[in-house]
Amino acid sequence: MLKTNKIYSQRAMNIHRSGPVFWGWYVVFSSFVMLTVIYGARYSFGVFVKPMFAEYNWPMTVISLAASINLLMYASGGVFSGWLLDRVAPKWITTVSVLLTTAGFIAASFVKSPLGLYLSYGVLVGIGSAGSGTVACTASIGKWFLKKRGIAIGIAAMGIGLGTLIMAPLAGYIVKSFGWRVGFLCIGALTCVVGIVMSQIFMGRDHPERYGLQPDGEALPPNQSNPHPHDGTVEKPSLKPILADPRFWLLVVCNMFAVMTVMMTFVHQVAYATNNGIDKLEAAATLGFIGMMGSGGKFFFGWLCDRIRDAKYSAALGFLLMAVGMFLLYRTTNVFMLYGFALFYGFGYGSLAPVTPYLISDRFGRQVLGATYGLLTFFATGIGGALGPIIGGFIFDKTGSYKSGWIMNAVFLLIISLLILALKPNPKEG
């Protein structure tokens, strides 16, 4: 039996070491492509709002509720998918999730009532995206890399910004040329083809240890066989000690407030800019610029995490840049200042995707990265993300302006930029 296991590990090692490229980089490539399509498809929903309003005359709040449901389902589904990722090969989770997402977009093309929109785009696309989005991709990458974890996750996360830049204009062209129903169908078809191909070809392996490798592609010493040839894990993943660890809840608080500012800003920034006399098209274009700067930030902060003593300093820098951006938004009176806000805020916002899973893996281990990141996403996105737009709207209704909301965001971001520095390392790391 031991001989059989050794032979299996050697064969697997040969498979994944054959050629110049470590298999983990294929996982990075697949994740990059999937995040480009999945997030690009989700973030293109705004393209469909006006055409649906024009056809059915549903109130904007009724249509927008579908996006809120989508966000809540995404956050809730992330908990379950993260738990599964620590136990099942990612390709099955991402494949099923892609199929759910596809079904949601296709069903959305046939809706004739708000309820249909809520069930299709809200529930199906939301849950489907959870199993093929950042939780699934970063958790998968984090198990293949240690020394290069930051840069690997950062490269993959750049797909989110690229998707925003590509998919929204593509969806806009299709909707303008063929109608919003065809637009949903085309996005669903693209998601299905790209997602399944990436999942089935590149996401079939879970842990490098299963194949006689260490993270980053390093081979085990010649006289050392894989101590866990069957499953490649050190121990059964458990969340109990993590839930009892104050460091987890510190990460929850910091990310929850950060995402709250992100969603408040994304939803209300354009309205604020136009209220200050900035052209609507120019105001909307800054959202794409934020996405572009976010892509650069994802790469930079991923790179930085691999080169400094503790990734918490990367997180603090990211929060600080976001705070500077919020202050510039508060002072914005022209389009140049608006782009200044987008530069600082977007670049800092880019830190969230690579730094958060890096910190989780660093503090709690690779084997529970999926479940831990999924649970954190529930609090950060499901609670913080959902509250952000509501709080922004409430502030405007009460004061007639968003300025106090931007100051509030800046203060929160400054506080968490200091608070994250209290995140203690593992005892063995000193």
Terminal Cα-to-Cα distance of the chain (whole angstroms): 41
> Sign of the C-alpha dihedral, residues 296, 298, 301, 303?
negative
CA distance 105 to 124: 8
Q: Which two tokens stand for residue 36?
A: 């480009």
Round to whole Å and give the CA distance between 75 and 79: 7
Query: Does residue 344 have a pLDDT over 70?
Result: yes
pTM over cut 0.85: no
Task: Give per-residue pLDDT as tens, 35-84.
Answer: 888 888 887 776 777 788 788 888 766 777 787 788 888 888 877 777 77
Question: What are the tens digits of pLDDT across the range 159-168?
Answer: 887 887 778 7
What pLDDT, in 10s, does the model give residues 220-271?
555 554 444 434 444 555 678 888 999 999 999 999 999 999 888 877 887 7
103: pLDDT strictly greater than 90: yes
User: Is a pLDDT exceeding 70 seen at residue 367?
Assistant: yes
Pull the structure tokens for residue 234: 């050190």
- Residue 213 backbone dihedrals phi, psi, to 5 degrees: -120, 155
SS3 track for 229-280:
CCCCCCCCCCCHHHHCCHHHHHHHHHHHHHHHHHHHHHHHHHHHHHHCCCCH
How many whole angstroms separate alpha carbon 82 and alpha carbon 74? 12
Domain formed by 2-212, architecture: Up-down Bundle (1.20)
Nearest Cα neighbor of 348 from 317, 308, 377 is: 317
C-alpha 320/C-alpha 6 separation (Å) is 50
Q: Chain-centre distance of CA 367, in angstroms?
A: 19
The pLDDT tens digits of the residues spanning 370-402 come to 778 888 888 888 888 878 877 888 888 888 888
Confidence of residue 141 (pLDDT cuts 50, 70, 90): confident
Residue 310 has pLDDT above 70, yes or no: yes
Percentages helix, strand, coil for the chain (3-state, rounded to 5) are 80, 0, 20
Query: Would you place residue 427 in the very low, low, confident or very high pLDDT band (cuts 50, 70, 90)?
Result: low
Residue ranges per structural domain of the chain: 2-212, 240-425
Confirm whether 2-212 and 240-425 share one CATH topology: yes
Hey, which residues does 221 pair with through a beta bridge? none
- For 277-304, how does the pLDDT look when each residue is reduced to its tens digit (9 = 90+)? 888 677 777 877 887 888 889 889 989 9
* Assigned CATH class of 240-425: mainly alpha
Q: How far apart are CA 419 and CA 253, in angstroms?
A: 9
Output the six-digit token pair for 276: 């200050």
Phi, psi (degrees; rounded to nearest 5) at 351: -70, -25
Structure tokens given for 124: 């199906």
Using CA atoms, how far apart are residues 42 and 70, in angstroms rounded to an integer? 9
Residue linked to tokens 């690229």: 162
Strand partners for 205: none
Q: For residue 232, give every residue at least 6 positions away whose Cβ sits within 8 Å of its Cβ, in sequence order, or none.
A: 206, 207, 208, 209, 210, 211, 226
Are the CB atoms for 113 and 101 separated by under 8 Å? no
